[in-house]
A and B are shown apart, each in its own frame.
Chain A
Amino acid sequence: MPSITRPEVAHLARLARIALTDDELDRLAPQLEVILTSVARVGEVAAADIPPTSHALPLTNVYRDDEVRPSLPLDAVLAAAPAVEDSRFRVPRILDDE
């Protein structure tokens, strides 16, 4: 029987970069437990020797000619940006000070 605890959900939320509130943790943790218990049924099928399928099509690499094609205009790309500076995306600080 799988189990997923509230601290585990909090940890997963940190990994997924979602700042869940305490209320949400209280609500989501038991729901995830129920879902996980149900989907764990995939383990009932003895399939160790079965190859996994990741995709419906038997495609490997799809190549195209390495030709330069026009890109979207810069102003169109930046139009939806939360912040812009000098024709670039302006983002919050990424590295810590130390």
Chain B
Amino acid sequence: MNDLIRRTAAETAAAIADGEVSAVEVAQAHLDRIGEVDDKVHAFLHLAAETALQSARRVDERRAAGEPLGALAGVPVAVKDVFTTKGLPTTCGSRILDGWVPPYDATVVRRLADAGLVVLGKTNMDEFAMGSSTEHSAFGPTHNPWDLDRIPGGSGGGSAAAVAAFEAPLAVGTDTGGSIRQPAAVTGTVGAKPTYGGVSRYGIVALASSLDQAGPCARTVLDAALLHAMIGGHDPLDSTSIDAPVPPVVEAARRAGVSGLKVGVVRELSGAGYQPGVEQRFREAVALLEELGAEVREVSCPHFTYGLPAYYLILPSEASSNLARFDAMRYGLRVEDGLAGAEEVMARTREAGFGDEVKRRIILGTYALSSGYYDAYYGQAQRVRTLIGRDFRAAYELVDVLVSPATPVTAFRLGERVDDPLSMYLNDLCTIPANLDGGPALSVPCGVAPEDGLPVGLQVMAPALADDRCYRVAAALEAALADRWGSVLLDEAPAL
């Protein structure tokens, strides 16, 4: 394995800035790695080899000309296929967008390019970000680099797998109910959902607009923070973008001390349904935080139990409305064959273009928003959302951050849950509350479960705009665990 692909993003950027290695060499090493392993992993839907090498060449030219380079200039990055990319296909894992080439870049993609990052390609995902395994991608699932028979999480399984398989040091994803954090947890990588409004949604194909949030995927906490700082910040093109500076996430990732920090363990995110090895590694990590000087206590958030049902009413409702834009009129698939009217063309196109899970959720959302059912379902779910927010507020009166396992179980086998929607939804149990509340949350590896040798993630949640606290806790844990293990977790992953 080429040494260049094992470096962190921070190390790679420094090596490029120092002239030890060129951005082109780094990009080529990653493209070679993708060529070697991606037929097994299937993290990528579209590769952008030519444009990647062009962007890398520009970074090398700028360096040669003595121009200042950004903190991550020349570092390769993989982009979830939910972000629009000018001139590069964007499918969202759906047949209905097969072959669509957007005419503009998402703000996140623009910021990556402006900062000199090198986009390698677009990563696989559950169709329209609906799923927890990438098995709902119309283009076939992604495989977990730890065990190719297992799921890489979802919906951003392609981004997490690309990072875990050393195909890219960095990736960007979106997290509506856990789609960055759950894949991070099951692939032994770091994934963060910033505070809602912290990263622009402009150019992201919308799933549930009140919940969708873009964020970083990386192999280290510092790399995630560097990427977060780069893509975050106010964007006038997104009316829900927060007009405030990005929280000091990079400083927090470097400072990495938890002495005196009050850490709350969420009582409701444990017990029945949680894999013993997941709970064991989580408890050990919490004990380690205590050794490092954190004040740990148990905290009750009684309404978190209702997060899952509230989410699976709010999300389908918003999605059924957002996905109405796929109407076969202006872009994407159109099934016309001899059909007379627009409505018939729409219905037949959506039938042919959407997969099962998307259809299920659109119909569920249509039901929840129907007159007569609206108050009992969507209305009641919104009230539960208020109660979950109050649980968070009450908890943050007592503690600075909340922690829980990031997922109830480790990566399950491909095919194991795909025909049982409800059991698939349970994967998001721990991650959903932060989306409903809007606060930041991050998953950091805390070991492998003894029973199956697969990665376990610890989730840190914090109040809105206190993203830095998530990084502070995660960096402290990462450093302490690396000391204890004498290596990083991904070194334990089998060679591909």
Contact = CB atoms under 8 A, between A and B. Distances in A.
Nearest to A63: B239
Contacts of A32: 360, 363-364, 367
Interface string B356-387: 10011011101100100000110111111111
B309 interface: yes
15 contacts: A18-B359, A35-B425, A36-B364, A38-B309, A39-B313, A42-B306, A45-B384, A50-B386, A51-B383, A53-B436, A76-B103, A79-B101, A89-B329, A91-B329, A93-B342
A15 B240 CA distance: 29
B166 interface: no
Contacts of B343: 17
A14 B213 CA distance: 31
A18 B354 contact: yes
Given A32-B364, A76-B103, 16 more contacts: A9-B363, A12-B366, A15-B366, A16-B350, A21-B351, A27-B356, A35-B425, A39-B312, A41-B309, A42-B306, A50-B386, A57-B197, A72-B103, A72-B104, A80-B332, A93-B342
B103 A92 contact: no
A52 B363 contact: no
A7 to B, nearest CB: 13
Interface in A16-48: 16-21, 24, 27-28, 31-32, 34-36, 38-45, 47-48
A2 to B, nearest CB: 8
Interface in B304-319: 306, 309-310, 312-313
Of A16, A19, A93, the most chain B CB neighbours within 10 A belong to: A16
Contact of A56 (B102, B348, B438): B438
Interface in B212-271: 236, 239-240, 242
Contact of A77 (B103, B359, B436): B103
Interface in A50-98: 50-57, 59, 62, 64, 72, 76-77, 79-83, 89, 91-94, 96
Interface stretch (B30-38, B292-300, B333-341, B448-456): B333-341
B341 A96 contact: yes
B380 A43 contact: yes
Contact of B382 (A34, A35, A41, A54): A54
A47 B383 contact: yes
Interface of A: 4, 8-9, 12-21, 24, 27-28, 31-32, 34-36, 38-45, 47-48, 50-57, 59, 62, 64, 72, 76-77, 79-83, 89, 91-94, 96
B345 interface: yes
Interface in B367-410: 367, 370, 376-377, 379-387, 389
Nearest to A59: B240
Interface of B: 100-104, 196-197, 210-211, 236, 239-240, 242, 303, 306, 309-310, 312-313, 320, 324, 327-334, 336, 339-348, 350-351, 354, 356, 359-360, 362-364, 366-367, 370, 376-377, 379-387, 389, 421-422, 425, 436-438, 464
Chain A interface mostly helix, strand, loop or mixed? loop
A19 B79 CA distance: 33
A72 B364 CA distance: 35
A39 B103 contact: no
A53 B380 CA distance: 10
A22 to B, nearest CB: 12
Contact of A13 (B345, B363, B385): B363
